[in-house]
Structures are given as C-alpha cells and as structure tokens.
Amino acid sequence: MAALGARYAIEIWGQPGYFETIQATRPYVGMVLDVAGAWQTYAPQLIAADRLPWTLGGLLALGAALGVAIRVRRLHALDQFHQSTLFYGLQMAFVLGVLFLFVGTSWRDPRYLFMVQPLWLLLGAAGVVWLLEQLPRRAQAPLFGAAALGIVLLMIQPARAVSTQQVEGYDRVLATVRDLRAPGDGVLSPQPPACALVLGSCDGFAIEKGYEEYVIRRAGGPLVDRWTGSPLISSAATLEEVVRSHPRTWFVADAFRLATRYSAATLHTLITQFDVVEQANGVVALRADGLQPEPPAWVMQELSPTLRFGPLELVGWSHNEDFGPEKPLTVELAWVGAEPVGAQINTSVRIVNAAGAIVAQDDGPPAGGIIPTTLFFETPLPDTKVLTLPVDLPNERYRIDVAAYTAADGAPVGASGNPQPLDWFAYFSTHGPLTPGDLGGWDNGMRLLAVDDVPATLTPGATLAVQLMWAAQTPTAAPLTAFVHLTGPDGLPIAQDDHQPEGGFYPTTGWHPSEPVTDTFTLTLPAALAPGAYALVTGWYDDTGARVPVAGGGDVLKIGEWDK
C-alpha cells in the first residue's frame, strides 16, 4: 500500500496532469468490476494445461493453511509453513483482486500477472509438499522420492517456462543497439524509459497514437516524454527529419505497438528507409543510414470491391508508372486484418501473360516482416513488392496477380485458393494501326472508336477477319462479352464470333478509363450466300445473355453492309 501511495504521489505532484490525462483518455483505475472480461484475459495464466498443476497445488496449500487457522483461531499459533502459505496467498489475492476489479479494460494484459508468478510457483510447490507429508509415516520414506520425482517431471518444465518467460525483449534488442551504436547515431523508441535505461539516453519518443498521457510540454518548448525528456516524434514528417539529420538512426519498437500506434505513412517510411538489424521476443531494431531518396509519391488506389484472402483483406494499392527493362515495377499493397489472423501469411505479386506463364514475381511477408500478420488489424499496412521485367519481354498485354499463402507450409489462403487479378497493363501499345474516332456507343459508356476496312464484297466460304477498337468511361461492374454477327436477308445471324476481349484475358471489369482496346473477330461465311441484303453488326451482352442497349436505341451497331 505504501508503494502504491508513493506511485500516486509521484503522478500527482511529480508529473502534474499525468493522472488526470490518463484517466480521461484511457482510464487504468476505477471500479471496473468486470470479472468475466478479466477472467478471459488472465485465466490462461492460471488454468492452461501446463499451468493447472501449479494452480491446483496452490489452492491445496491455501485450503490446508486456512483449515488449520480456523481450528487454532490464532495466526501466531500456526507453524511457519502455513504462515508463509497464507502470507504469499494474501499477496497473490491482493494483486488478482486489483486486476479483476479495478484495472481499466484497455490496460488488461496477461503480463501483469508475471509480477506474482514466483508467489504462484511457491504456493504450488507448497501444496505438493503438504500432500506428500500427509502420507503415512512409514510410507513416506519409500514413496516420497518416487512421488517427488514424478511431480518434478510433471511440473518442472512449466515452471522453467514461467520463470524465463518474457513478453517483450527490449533489453536484448537495446543491448544489441548499444553494442553497434556509433557516435552521432540517433535512437528512437516508443519506450524511451527502457531506451534510456540501457543506452543512457533516448533521442526521441516515437509514437503517433495514444501518447497523450505520457508527455508533458517543456516550458516554452515541445512535448516530451514525462520520464526521460525525449522529444515527441509523432508523424512521418518528423521521423524523416530525424533520419535526415543523423548519419544513422535506430528505431526500436515491439510488433504490437508498430501494428497499432502508427499511421500507414510512418510504417511506409520505416519499411522503405530502415533495415532489420535484430529481432527478439517481439521487439525489432531497425536502422536507417541517412534518408534515402524516394520516387515521387504514388496515389493509392482504393479497391472496390476489396480482395479477400482468408483473414487478410487487400484494400488498396499503388505502383510506379515508368517501369521497363531497366526500371522494375514497384507495387505497394495495403492490407488490413478483416478478422483475427491465426498464422503468419506471406504474399506474392506476379506478372503473367495471356498464356498464364509467370514472367516476374516477388514473394515475402507483408510490412517487410517487421509486423507479423497475426497483428494486422484495421490500420492499412504497406506491403512493397519489386518485380524485375525481362529485357526481351514481348509486346503484349500482361496481368498483375496477387496471391497469399501460409508461411509455414505454402498452402494458399482464401476460399478460391487461386491468385486474384489486380490490374492489367500493355507493355507497349496494343491497340494496333487503327485510328480512333467515334462510331457510336452504348448506354454503359462503352464507345466504338474504329473498325478496320471490311471487304467490298462477301465471298462464300471465305474467312472474314474484323478488328475493332473500343474504349470505356469506367470499368464495368461485371465482365461483358463482345459479339460480331453477319446477318442475312432475314435478319438472322449466319456467321458470328462471340468472346470476351482478348480471349477473356482482359475483361471489361479491368479496363482503364478511355484506354483504347482492340480485338479481332473471325467469321467463317457459309458455302452459299442467298441474294439479298447482309449486315455486319456488333454489340455486348452480360453473363445472363442480356444485351447492353445502344445509346439512341437498339442493341447493335452496324459496322458493314452488302447487297448481294
């Protein structure tokens, strides 16, 4: 109680405003009384399979001590064994009571039970000792050793795991930074007290969200960490300024804070400017060797609808425009965790041609591996992939595919288990020699721009090849099929070719606005053609067979006619 009072006094008089700020933004003390919620958080530390024997042993020891205390009715009359059991049990119960009844819900974390893990182990061992001492005296000698050995084998490994467990390995990672740090290096961290404890000082309190209760404003100056005086670094711009002003900059943070306390812009800077130097117990040390020039900012395109790969959801992406044989295609994906992610997932970006062959590929963990996918939540996290194109890449259209798979076994993630198309691009111009114009359009914004010269006459049995050029105002909601029909004197088709653009490789759902798209349609004429009027018409229909109306009426555009 004295220690709690001293801590409270420090927060009230030594750090003015700290307690009020933290209670207003994220209260950590009060009459919470949410036993069910606390049990869900802390119960695994007490009743997990490898921990349950220790908990049962502790309850046994406490029950025996309380039973004796009730009989003798005087605590000082208890032997030291039972007095020690009640003493440790009182401390354990006090801490559990505070955690279950008074600690704010946003502060719940299993690590807060670690402070009483030694008491828990002592109580568990006391229960085992008491149980063995209840054996008949003549049976104790031969059975004690065997029973003790069996219990040790059952309980020693959980005890060792508990006594060496560490939630966040800041000490190990900071020790590495201390050994590698050079004069003039800057060190940033969301844990400046730990940083200052190991290194002697910390150059910046680097955090963007939830810092209000940890900072005070230095008189006439900036916001600084309450305990170390480290200046607050709370944006990507200030982070870049620190990197620019130091020959080398270290950034030490744990994966959970990286996933929840930073913006996508800051994470982009960390991933593109920093390299991983050390990782231990969920903490990573990153190092930047000065600020490296970046390409012009690309506009992130939001995906609607988004692409789902099991628990991961791709919500946006961007890429450089000036790629080619000497400059790779750099793609940045934006991922969120649409639901809890149970295992590490790696992602893949691939460039494929119309035959389905992969011509370039880059695989790896999202967020540069700095944040595991098990900590992907609602904040979009960047995933950069760099694809080097072959120098002899043919003049064709290509598709950019995205895939996701579990890192442990390579099993595809998602219901389909297949890569999903992200975009299409023409390596060179693919619209052919046609000269764009405007030959009419459809109600959905599709326009017919050009048709190559059709023959002056129709030859029975001949092959009629026609090249068309279209453009769309926007991609269509569903893939459409184009058709070219030759109709006879009765108005019915006598030859036709129906297919999705470029053989289905470039569906209308992926068309870029106003991009010219060409395709060739081949019709085989009948062996005999009756006298009369013939017409060559084109149009579109959806997967139900319903044709798209032509602007101005009808459902086809006439692109040629003959009178035989």
One-letter amino acid for residue 387 of the chain: L
Kindly state the DSSP code that residue 247 receives in the 8-state scheme.
S
Phi, psi at residue 126, to the nearest 5°? -60, -40
- Laid out side by side, the sheet with 232-233 consists of 232-233, 204-206, 186-189, 249-254, 283-288, 275-280
Domain 301-426 belongs in CATH node 2.70.180.20: no
Q: Dihedral (C-alpha) 374, 375, 381, 386: value to the nearest 10 degrees?
A: -40
Q: Which two tokens stand for residue 343?
A: 């295992």
Predicted local confidence at residue 426, as pLDDT: 86
Peptide bond into 305 cis (omega under 30): yes
Residue 418: the pLDDT is: 79
Which of 152, 44, 172, 37 has the alpha carbon at shortest distance from 106?
37
pLDDT band at 519 (very low <50, low <70, confident <90, very high): very high
Digit-coded pLDDT (tens) for 343-369: 999 999 999 999 999 999 999 999 988
Nearest to 251 by CA among 200, 332, 195, 169: 195
pLDDT digits 0-9 by tens, 133-190: 887 766 556 666 666 667 666 677 777 776 666 666 798 999 999 999 999 999 999 9
CATH hierarchy code of domain 446-563: 2.60.40.10
What is the amino acid identity at position 336?
V
pLDDT at 151: 67
**According to the model, what pLDDT value does residue 216 have?**
85
Phi, psi of 344 (to 5 degrees): -65, 130
Are the beta carbons of 511 and 475 closer than 8 angstroms? yes
Whether the pLDDT of residue 375 is over 80: the answer is yes
Chain-centroid distance of CA 146 in Å reads 51
Which tokens in the block code for residue 150?
Answer: 């069996």
Average pLDDT over residues 525-540: 94
17: region left, alpha or beta (phi > 0 left; psi from -120 to 50 alpha): left
454-497 pLDDT, tens per residue?
A: 898 999 999 999 999 999 999 999 999 999 999 999 999 999 99
- The pTM of this model reads 0.72
The conformation of residue 15, written as its DSSP 8-state character, comes to: S
